[in-house]
Amino acid sequence: MPPMVLLGPPGAGKGTQGQMLAEELGIPQIATGDILRAAVKAGSELGQKAKSYMDAGDLVPDEIMVGIIRDRLQQPDAGEGYILDGFPRTVAQAEALDDMLAAIGQKLDHVVHIDVDNELLVKRLSGRVICRDCGATYHTRFNPPAKDRVCDLCGGELFQREDDQEKTVRSRLAVFQERTQPLVEYYRQQGIYRKVDGDQDPETVRARILQAIEGK
Ligand code: ADP
Ligand code: ADP
Ligand code: ZN
């Protein structure tokens, strides 16, 4: 099972789908946003560097991100395929990833773009809450926890991400258009690009993704 990428704007469902697919396929989900948030929480040097970019809804610089992925892909669990969620987000990151994979005789298998229109993205992001302890994702209306503000999985406290406030959301959507959208053409040229409609319920989207990667 070679590596695959989940591409999509903030709120498209990359995290939700990545988690389900990782379980189903038995491979890890590598989410750069989760790695960065853990670094911020730990107060590490990486976290200190990344925080201001994240809070502003800007991208963390490419060199930092490529370094994170280089380290993460060397972990033993990344040997048998993995799902990248939130990386790459720029053409420079995509090129660096291709080089890294080529150096070990691998290449990406699929790039699945989860497509959702902006108004729905804003609704999803404004209701998103995540667990402070395990990072699990919920939505106050679309996917509420059994008990208000408490994680079903670990009992941790649920909170809204700083960058999910409406003013930051709008700029993150603009950043996606400007910096990440060019990856569509980049991967289309490689023949591995698949677009999936992400506006339905999670189960339907999951089925569409599986169909897109099986029906290649
Ligand atoms: P979302 O799930 O809303 O798409 P993420 O959790 O993936 O957001 O990312 C949160 C923030 O972390 C981004 O807004 C950005 O600041 C930073 N980040 C995550 N991945 C990358 C990346 N590949 N390149 C640059 N910045 C990144
Ligand atoms: P991303 O990682 O792309 O930013 P998430 O997986 O975090 O997206 O999803 C954003 C928000 O929308 C979360 O609150 C999540 O619970 C909710 N969500 C995800 N997929 C769906 C869906 N298919 N229908 C409705 N809500 C969804
Ligand atoms: Zn939890």
Q: What is the pLDDT of residue 80?
A: 83
202 lines ligand 2 (CB under 6 A): yes
Q: What is the pLDDT of residue 209?
A: 97
Task: Please pick, among 37, 124, 128, 208, the residue that the annotation labels catalytic.
Answer: 128
Task: Please pick, among 123, 161, 170, 179, the residue that the annotation labels catalytic.
Answer: 161
Per-domain boundaries in the chain: 4-116+165-214
For residue 3, is the peptide bond before it cis, meaning its omega torsion is within 30 degrees of 0?
no
Ligand nearest to the Cα of 160, by number: 2
Under the banding of pLDDT at 50, 70 and 90, the label for residue 79 is confident
Helix (H), strand (E), coil (C) string for 12-77: CCHHHHHHHHHHHHCCCEEEHHHHHHHHHHHCCHHHHHHHHHHHHCCCCCHHHHHHHHHHHHCCHH
Q: What is the pLDDT of residues 163-215, one digit of tens each?
A: 999 889 999 999 999 999 999 999 999 999 999 999 999 999 999 999 999 86
At the fourth CATH level, the homologous superfamily of domain 4-116+165-214 is: P-loop containing nucleotide triphosphate hydrolases (3.40.50.300)
Q: Using the mean position of ligand 2's atoms as its centre, give its distance from the Cα of residue 42 in Å.
A: 25
Q: Rounded distance, CA 98 to CA 36, Å?
A: 22
DSSP 73: H
Tell me the helix, strand and coil percentages in the chain, rounded to 5: 50, 15, 30
Helices 14-25, 202-214: crossing angle, 10 deg rounding:
60
Q: Using the mean position of ligand 3's atoms as its centre, give its distance from the Cα of residue 158 in Å.
A: 8
Q: What is the pLDDT of residue 47?
A: 97
Max distance between CA atoms of the chain, in angstroms, equals: 48
Pairing type for strands 137-139 and 128-131 reads antiparallel
Name the closest-CA residue to atom 10, ligand 2.
11
55 Cβ contact partners less than 8 Å away, ≥ 6 residues apart? 162, 163, 168
18 lines ligand 2 (CB under 6 A): no
